[in-house]
Each structure stands twice: as C-alpha cells, then as structure tokens.
Amino acid sequence: MEQQLKSILTAVANDTLEKLAFLFAFADEERDHDSPDPAVVGRVEFDGYFDGFLTMRISDSVIPELACNMLGLDDEAQVSNTQQQDALKELLNVICGNALPAIAGDEVEFNIATPEILPAMDSAHPDRIDNPACIARLMLEEGSCDLYFFIEGEFPELTLPSDSARDL
C-alpha cells in the first residue's frame, strides 16, 4: 500500500506543481533522505474518511520563483515574504485537496484545515516525527520537494488504483 500511496502522491504533486506553479518535478527515487538544502516546511491537516496530515519540505531557493509564477509576476524581487508563504500554503492545500480523492475516491468527504508554515526548528526532519504512511521525494530544477503523508489512527480499507496515471 505504501508504494501505491507514494505513486499517487508523486503524480498529484507533479501535476499540481506543473499546472499551478509552472515548475517541473521528477520523482527522485534514488534519494532516501532529506536534501541538505535549506528548506521551508508547510503542513496541512485533514479529517473525514480517515484523519491525518500532509507535510511538504521544499528548498527555500524555489519559493520566490514558485510565488512569482503563481501570482503571474515577472520579477521575483516583487514578491514579498508573505506572498511567498501564501503561495506555498496554497500549493500545499491544492496538493492535499487533489491527493485525498485520488487515494480514497470521489465519494468520500474530507475537511482540510488551513495550511501553516512550520517554524524552522520544527522543520528540520519532518520524516522523523510519527511514522509517515509514505514519503514522495521530488527533484526540481533548482532544488527538491519532499511530501510526507501521515495517517492518524486506523486507515480504512481502500481499493487504491493500481495505475498511478489515474486522471487527476
């Protein structure tokens, strides 16, 4: 099941990064640890058919371009720190909002909380807290993006799609 969750999360993240932020990502199958690059970490909690949260660790060097692309601006210098954080939270929200139905199906409902940016001291190693159901590691042109999918409590029986190329 972990591999299926990882495939779905990777496909959703790739699709969202490309369509929302105009960033191209590739699965980074060879890396089995956090990138040493400085990073920003965001988290969004959800509840419903099952409860959990999604944490994203993304290289901080990518954030200005991500925000600039999402806001339709030409100059990264025009993007404030607040706009960068808002763009990152929106990206995390969209990834979570698309991943949950891809995992559980369109018939179930989830409530997604407001995403938050974690303080630097809490963001060093998000994969070491709790026990993630899966980690999807992505390589970007100028950095990396790692997604940690956590499930709290019992995970219901699901019939996960066998093909990660499911329409997103």
Can you tell me the mean pLDDT for 66-83? 89
Q: What's the pLDDT score for residue 35?
A: 65
2 Rama class: left (phi>0) / alpha (psi -120 to 50) / beta: alpha
Q: Mean pLDDT over all residues of the chain?
A: 86
| Residues above pLDDT 90, as percent of the chain | 67
Structure tokens at 144: 């990396």
The predicted model scores a pTM of 0.86
pLDDT tens sequence across 140-166: 998 999 999 999 877 777 655 554 444
Looking at residue 76, what is its pLDDT? 78
Q: What string of DSSP letters covers the chain?
A: -HHHHHHHHHHHHHHHHHHHH---EEE-TT--S--SS-EEEEEEEEEESSEEEEEEEEETTTHHHHHHHHHT-S-GGG--HHHHHHHHHHHHHHHHHHHHHHHH-TTS-EEEPPPEEPPGGG-S-GGGSS--SEEEEEEETTEEEEEEEEEESPPPP----S-TT---
Integer CA distances (angstroms), 46 to 74, 114, 149, in order: 34, 9, 11
Q: Band of the pLDDT at 57, cuts 50, 70, 90?
A: very high
Alpha-carbon distance 147 to 138, whole Å? 8
Residue 51 has pLDDT above 60, yes or no: yes
Who's near 80: CB < 8 A, 6+ residues apart? Answer: none
In the predicted model, is pLDDT for residue 89 greater than 90? yes
* Residue type, position 38, single letter: P
Task: Give the C-alpha separation, 139 to 130, whole Å.
Answer: 24
Domains of the chain from N-terminus onward: 2-152 (3.40.1550.10)
CA angle, 11 then 122 then 143, to 5° = 40
pLDDT given for residue 121 in this prediction: 55
